[in-house]
A and B are shown apart, each in its own frame.
Chain A
Amino acid sequence: MTIIPIGPYHPSLEEPELFRLTVEGEKIVDCDWKTSYNHRGIERIAEGKTYDQCLFLVERVCGICSASHPIAFCNAVEDMAGIEIPERARYIRSIIAELERLHSHLLWFGLAGHYIGYNTVWMWAWRYREPILYLFEKITGNRQSYAMMKVGGVRQDIKDEDLPDIMKVVDDLEPKLNMFIGVALDDPVLAARMKGVGKFSREDAINYCVVGPTARAAGIDMDVRRDEPYAAYDRVDWKVILGESGDVLSQAVVRLLELLESVKIIRQCLREMPHGPISVEVPEILPGEGIGREEAPRGECFHYVRSDGGNCPVRLKIRAPTYNNIPTYKVRVIGETISDATIILASIDPCYSCTERMIRVVEQGRETMGWSDLLTLSQEKTKRIMREMGFNEEDAFRGLRI
């Protein structure tokens, strides 16, 4: 019996997290974890900040979801104070949130490719993600941490002259997304590495209260954008993508198909966005409590705010989607092999915050494998499958069949 620690510093994870995999040979038989190496006490800090300052704080909960936490926070405060935001602000919130989903899902797809040794997927996905970040810089001033949201609306307008640029980026991206979807659905190597791997049942999904693409891949029909519409999601036409088996492949397919829905939402928002004010005056905040949710790329973000009538919240509870999704790792990874441990963990798109990473295999106190060895092990498996399927090994890492 050997114990393999993944983490606390790990290349696939932005924040340290420790998984202890108990293995017999190649097979994983048990899993335990430790988390919160990077607990920053954001909820506690928020208690001493005004509502306006809190927005900048919650924007930094996650380096990727720079729009999700501020929108969830605004929804919570607006729920508490009964604020109705202007129509134009609703559309701007949706545009920013969907652009964020585009870049976040592409980032995930690239990383998933990297973990199974398909580095071409990684480079292509990130290449097509880059124009979205340029776009963010153009319309908000920042590639990340856009500072667009405020309680009662949005902080800055999207200029009319920027609309054609957004439309062009989205138009250029769509055929590339279709290409990726074709690859994910047709490529036999991707199917061999992802199909049936890391499965979990609908019952597990319900018991562990999972959210977002992880839940939808297991067939749970939930999406905050539709179920409790905020921003402009009830004003445009789109649909919730569902998978069946909850395996890594269905998670990938759900995310990729969601990208096309995001494109649809952005197009409609750009076309239908009315002119007008972008924010309303925020009334005095009375004692009370409010709950706000937002469908982040990884699932439902949840904010609970309590006020005593002062200018700072007395309590802010934040629940990021990964918090509910990570515990399913245990049911998904047991019975699988070590070479699949990375992609199964990556498949829920874990997101903590940003820092260093490392992985080691320790046997009887001596390090026998480092992260690069494990990554090589995973990539060798893809090569072996390719050889068995009759692919030329030379071609294996040269490019996708497109």
Chain B
Amino acid sequence: MAEEDIIQMVKGRFPDKAMEARQASPNRVYINVKKEDARDVVGYLFQELGGRLITASGVDTRAGIEILYHMAFDKKQYKIVTVRALVPKAFPEIDSMAIVIPGAAWIEREIHDLFGVNFIGHPDLRRLILADDWPEGKYPYLREEKA
């Protein structure tokens, strides 16, 4: 039986959304989406394709803050599908995944603490990592901009 092509499935499900996909190896797929589309794509992978959210990563890059949702498909050839969205540093906001996936609640709180990303619609964005007396507006995992 031919393996399903996950990239074609996602593109076929959302024909009007711009996305860029890369098959890094047989077991690793990376899909770059616009931040407005991230919830729809991750929600599709979780609810309709039965993916399991492993975790999310925040990465501070020159272009902005990347939010990566790593979804596991243990029974498929493509083991891990990573959905990547770029959030601008000036307005670090993205739709929260925790409404769709309760298991995303903690990691989004963590990224909120460490990178200052606001997850819109998150049920409980209280601090998870930072101490109560940590100053507001300082995000320890953001790189300092050199003048």
Task: Tell me if A309 is interfacial: C-beta within 8 Å of chain B.
Answer: no
Nearest A residue to B100, CB-CB: A207
B141 touching A44 by the CB < 8 A rule? Answer: yes
Query: CB-CB < 8 A to A208: which residues of B?
Result: 102-103
A283 to chain B, nearest CB (A): 16
Query: CB-CB < 8 A to B79: which residues of A?
Result: 227-228
A327 to B104, CA, bound (A): 10
Using known A-B contacts A35-B128, A43-B141, determine if residue A323 contacts B55 with beta carbons closer than 8 Å.
yes
A327 to B101, CA, bound (A): 12
Task: Tell me if B23 is interfacial: C-beta within 8 Å of chain A.
Answer: no
B interface residues, tally (CB under 8 Å): 33
Query: CB-CB < 8 A to A228: which residues of B?
Result: 27, 74, 79
A227 touching B129 by the CB < 8 A rule? Answer: no
Interface residue from A206, A317, A327 paired with B55 (Cβ < 8 Å): A317
* B53-87 Cβ-contact flags toward A at 8 Å (1 or 0): 11101111000000010101011000110100000
Task: Tell me if B106 is interfacial: C-beta within 8 Å of chain A.
Answer: yes
B80 touching A291 by the CB < 8 A rule? Answer: yes
A304 touching B68 by the CB < 8 A rule? Answer: yes
Query: CB-CB < 8 A to B60: which residues of A?
Result: 315
Task: Tell me if A90 is interfacial: C-beta within 8 Å of chain B.
Answer: no
A207 touching B102 by the CB < 8 A rule? Answer: yes
Q: Which residues 32-61 in B have Cβ within 8 Å of A in the complex? A: 52-55, 57-60
Task: Tell me if A142 is interfacial: C-beta within 8 Å of chain B.
Answer: no
A327 to B140, CA, bound (A): 24
Size class of the A contact interface (CB-based, 8 Å)? 20 to 34
Task: Tell me if A270 is interfacial: C-beta within 8 Å of chain B.
Answer: no
A328 to chain B, nearest CB (A): 9
Task: Tell me if B105 is interfacial: C-beta within 8 Å of chain A.
Answer: yes
Task: Tell me if A261 is interfacial: C-beta within 8 Å of chain B.
Answer: no
Interface residue from A43, A291, A302 paired with B28 (Cβ < 8 Å): A291
B70 touching A291 by the CB < 8 A rule? Answer: yes
* A14-38 Cβ-contact flags toward B at 8 Å (1 or 0): 0000000000000000000011100
A23 to B55, CA, bound (A): 32
Using known A-B contacts A43-B141, A227-B74, A291-B80, determine if residue A319 contacts B129 with beta carbons closer than 8 Å.
no
Nearest B residue to A208, CB-CB: B103
Query: CB-CB < 8 A to A289: which residues of B?
Result: 24, 30
A227 to B129, CA, bound (A): 32
A222 to B141, CA, bound (A): 32
Nearest A residue to B113, CB-CB: A36
Task: Tell me if A300 is interfacial: C-beta within 8 Å of chain B.
Answer: yes
Task: Tell me if A306 is interfacial: C-beta within 8 Å of chain B.
Answer: yes
Using known A-B contacts A36-B129, A209-B54, determine if residue A304 contacts B70 with beta carbons closer than 8 Å.
yes
Query: CB-CB < 8 A to A207: which residues of B?
Result: 101-103
A302 to B68, CA, bound (A): 13
A231 to B103, CA, bound (A): 29
Query: CB-CB < 8 A to A300: which residues of B?
Result: 54, 72
Query: CB-CB < 8 A to B105: which residues of A?
Result: 327
Query: CB-CB < 8 A to A244: which residues of B?
Result: none
Q: Which residues 202-227 in A have Cβ within 8 Å of B in the complex? A: 206-210, 222, 224, 227
Query: CB-CB < 8 A to A210: which residues of B?
Result: 103
Using known A-B contacts A206-B52, A208-B102, A327-B105, determine if residue A227 contacts B75 with beta carbons closer than 8 Å.
yes
Task: Tell me if A324 is interfacial: C-beta within 8 Å of chain B.
Answer: yes
Q: Which residues 143-195 in A have Cβ within 8 Å of B in the complex? A: none
Task: Tell me if A79 is interfacial: C-beta within 8 Å of chain B.
Answer: yes
A306 to chain B, nearest CB (A): 6
A108 to B80, CA, bound (A): 30
A73 to B107, CA, bound (A): 20
A303 to chain B, nearest CB (A): 10
B106 to chain A, nearest CB (A): 6
Query: CB-CB < 8 A to B106: which residues of A?
Result: 323, 327
Nearest A residue to B102, CB-CB: A207
A-B contact pairs, 5 of them (CB 8 A): A34-B128, A206-B52, A208-B102, A291-B80, A302-B70
Q: Show the binding face of A for B, using Cβ within 8 Å.
A: 34-36, 39, 41, 43-44, 79, 82, 206-210, 222, 224, 227-228, 288-291, 293, 300, 302, 304, 306, 314-315, 317, 319, 323-324, 327
Q: Show the binding face of B for A, using Cβ within 8 Å.
A: 24-25, 27-28, 30, 52-55, 57-60, 68, 70, 72, 74-75, 79-80, 82, 101-107, 128-130, 140-141
Additional A-B contacts beyond A317-B58, A324-B103 (7; CB < 8 A): A35-B129, A209-B54, A293-B54, A300-B72, A304-B57, A304-B68, A317-B59
